[in-house]
Amino acid sequence: MTTTVTLTGTGVPFPSPDRAGPGVLVSHSDVHLQIDAGRSTVMRLAQAGISPHQLSALLLTHLHSDHVSDVADLVHTRWVQDHMHGTGPLPVVAVAGHAPGFVRRVLAANEFDVNVRVQHVQDGPPEVIGHWFDLPDVPAEVWRSPCDRVGVEAVRVRHEPVEQAVGYRVTTPDGVVVVSGDTRVCDEIAALSAGADVLVHEACRSSALAEAVKGTRFETIFSYHADTVALGAMARRVGVPHLVLTHLIPAPTSPEQVAEFEDEVRQGGFEGRVSVGHDLLSVTVGDAAGA
């Protein structure tokens, strides 16, 4: 058995034909964890060979719309398939504050369709199994697979003004994967990443583009995302061997712009492997070559 990490979306709120909304799939044997569900997640999962009924859990880092716009589609599609697969409700792991109400409301939007389907095919309405947890200041376990092979820890990150934002650490028999969610470079993610084999982290070219965005709304937006140079310095400090960049701000549109992300991480002193993310990029934990 091996553990793989697949980027189901590397984009930002602005739509792109090449980059779906943010999402990361971590798989170990038959345990499949989807972290966030941005725009077109269901389609990217299909391209990766994973159907919603195969997911062990959906983990939400925070409720910015670009990270959760496909939650309803994911849960609803799993429900529609349930009479074929019998996998039952999707477990959803998230901070206890706003997430339960959000999930309840987005599912309620399909009330008409649910009523029609229940009359003809489905046995009952779509449901989730909520694994809601208090916002942790230090890493704490928030989910474990029924087989006991895969554990998930969470810690709060620094994405203010969004207060209820977390990163996740997934531990499997093969190693450790950390997914930052949206955050500035911060001590909490540094602590979560210690000893990790792969760190999937958002990346923003805020230092390089500081003058270009000065005095604009982008200056504010950049302030609560992870600067590439600072990220490189943090990854070097904690000794992560493989850094995977995602949620690329601004989204690169040429090979030269892609290269600039890695160049700036190197400026921070990081000497390990860097993968500048694209949709469906897949890496294997412990595999230096990746895919």
pLDDT in the model for residue 291: 42
The helix or strand, by DSSP H or E, that contains position 151, with its residue range, turns out to be strand 151-156
Write down the pLDDT at residue 289: 40
pLDDT at 160: 93
What phi and psi, each to the nearest 5 degrees, are found at residue 207?
-65, -45
pLDDT for residue 86: 86
Domain hosting 202: range is 3-284
Q: Is residue 240 domain-resident?
A: yes
Number of domains in the chain: 1
In angstroms, the CA 265 to CA 184 distance is: 14
* Residue 286 vs residues 193, 249, 258: alpha-carbon distances, Å: 15, 28, 24
CA–CA separation, 167 vs 226, rounded Å? 13
In a domain, 290, yes or no: no
In a domain, 291, yes or no: no
289 forms bridges with which residues in the sheet?
none
**pLDDT at position 57:** 98
Answer for the pair 59, 35: CB distance below 8 angstroms, yes or no. yes
Three-class SS state of 136: coil
What gap in Å lies between CA 290 and CA 176, rounded to an integer? 15
Judge whether residue 290 has pLDDT over 70.
no
* Cα 84 to the center of its chain, rounded Å: 28
Domain of 187: which CATH number? Answer: 3.60.15.10
In this prediction, residue 208 has a pLDDT band, given cuts at 50, 70 and 90, of confident
- What are 113-136's pLDDT values in tens digits? 999 999 988 989 999 999 999 999
- Whether 134 sits among the annotated catalytic residues: the reply is no
Least confident window among 10-14, 23-27, 58-62, 99-103: 10-14
Q: What is the pLDDT of residue 207?
A: 87
Residue type, 145: S
CB 211 within 8 A of CB 175: no
- If phi over 0 gives left and psi between -120 and 50 gives alpha, with beta otherwise, what is residue 280? left
Residue 189 placed within a domain: yes
Residue 109 located in a structural domain: yes
Average pLDDT, the chain: 95
In a domain, 181, yes or no: yes
- Residues 74-100 pLDDT 10s: 999 999 998 888 889 999 999 999 999
Does residue 289 fall inside a structural domain? no
Q: Is residue 79 part of a domain?
A: yes
* Catalytic residue from among 66, 70, 174, 227: 66
